[in-house]
Amino acid sequence: MTNRILENKTALIHGAGGAIGGAVARAFARQGAKVFLAGRTLAKLDAVAKDVSAAGGVAETAQVDALDERAVNAHADAVAAKAGRIDIALNAVGIRHVQGTPFAELSLEEYALPITGYTRTNFITAKAAARHMIKAGRGVILTLSTPGSRMAGTGFLGYGVTCAAVEAFTRILAAELGPGGIRVNCLVPGGIQTDLLRNYWRRIADEQGVTWEEIRDRGDITDVQKRKLFADNARRLYGLKG
Ligand SMILES: NC(=O)c1ccc[n+]([C@@H]2O[C@H](COP(=O)([O-])OP(=O)(O)OC[C@H]3O[C@@H](n4cnc5c(N)ncnc54)[C@H](OP(=O)(O)O)[C@@H]3O)[C@@H](O)[C@H]2O)c1
């Protein structure tokens, strides 16, 4: 293959066994990156690694809890030692949480779970990679959010606040790390048709008495793959949304 835009790059992906993390890992590998796949369930990571290998790419897997700072740091250090660098770090972790509960019935714990989980894991994984990128004077840190950060609606209060927090985290970190050669970008895909989202659509559709297809957005997983690659290639581009 010619003109592979991520040739000789090292990409570290947390949540790589998930729908978006796995799709991005495959896309990065197709473009020449060596991909280090981290996640909770080894079988899911192995399935992505198998696809990458079958397509001629190089992947390594590791079971790493993305909420465990020591484990994430140790993994990042091992990747940097083995590959010599970390060029791209993506957090595609999805924290399971309750949606659809009316505010008056929503517990503080249910509200706080996604906020705590997503802000914690993004801090931990970004910092683990940034320590190596700062020394190298280059790198790309990618986060994920949803249009829920700016949408009005019911049943996703904690997740909406979460997304706004992840976007603010990205923006502020981009300003701090940008002058040191590190781009920090947040991708904000709309509805990407994964099990996570289809189950959500089905619940909303049931509530509204319509089919889930009527609720469905037009997003497609390939949109995220393309945008991730764009983000990695962009120069002087901070806080990207798309
Ligand atoms: N799907 C969408 O429409 C959409 C749109 C915009 C943004 N996003 C965001 O994109 C991200 C990924 O979404 P997705 O649809 O790809 O979700 P997904 O398919 O559920 O994947 C999430 C992955 O995160 C892993 N994970 C969860 N907790 C973890 C932990 N403590 N340590 C390590 N890995 C952990 C899961 O591992 P296990 O499988 O082992 O549990 C799973 O592989 C989420 O942040 C989501 O909010 C999604």
Tell me the per-residue pLDDT of 29-46, one tens digit each, with 9 for 90 and over.
Answer: 999 999 999 999 999 999
Give the CATH number for residue 117.
3.40.50.720
**Domain total of the chain:** 1
Residue 23: CB atoms within 10 Å: 21
Q: How far apart are CA 54 and CA 59, in angstroms?
A: 11
**pLDDT tens across 94-145, in order?**
999 989 999 999 999 999 999 999 999 999 999 999 999 999 999 999 999 9
Give the pLDDT score at 242.
45
Q: For ligand 1, pick from 196, 199, 223, 224 the residue to mutate: most ligand atoms within 8 Å of CB.
A: 196
Ligand 1 test: best mutation among 61, 93, 167, 224, most atoms within 8 Å of CB? 93
| 90 located within any domain | yes
Which ligand 1 atom sits closest to the C-alpha of 189? 6
Residue 203 lies in a domain: no
Domain-embedded: residue 54: yes
Average pLDDT over residues 189-193: 75
Q: Coil, helix or strand for 144? A: strand
151 domain-assigned: yes
Determine the pLDDT at residue 238. 45
Distances (CA, A) of 209 to 86, 122, 201, 204: 48, 37, 12, 8
Q: What is the pLDDT of residue 226?
A: 57
CA of 121 to the centre of ligand 1 (A): 12
97 lines ligand 1 (CB under 6 A): no
Closest CA to 186 of 209, 167, 202, 168: 167
How confident is the model at residue 223, as a pLDDT? Answer: 53
Cα separation of 19 and 23, whole Å?
Answer: 6
CA gap 182, 146 in Å, rounded:
23
Residue 228 pLDDT level (bands cut at 50, 70, 90): low
What CA–CA distance (Å, rounded) separates 165 from 174?
14
Looking at every residue in the chain, the average pLDDT score rounds to 89
The response to whether residue 197 sits with its C-beta less than 6 Å from ligand 1 reads yes
Q: Is residue 134 assigned to a domain?
A: yes
Mean pLDDT of 146-174: 95
> What ligand 1 atom has the least distance to the C-alpha of 159?
47
Range of 21's domain?
A: 10-191+224-233
Residue 172 lies in a domain: yes
The verdict on the CB of residue 53 being under 6 Å from ligand 1 is no
What is the number of other CB atoms lying within 10 angstroms of the CB of residue 227?
Answer: 20
Distance 2 CA to ligand 1 centre (A): 32
**241, part of any domain:** no
Distance 1 CA to ligand 1 centre (A): 30
The verdict on the CB of residue 166 being under 6 Å from ligand 1 is no
Residue 213: which residues within 8 A CB-CB, separation 6 or more?
none
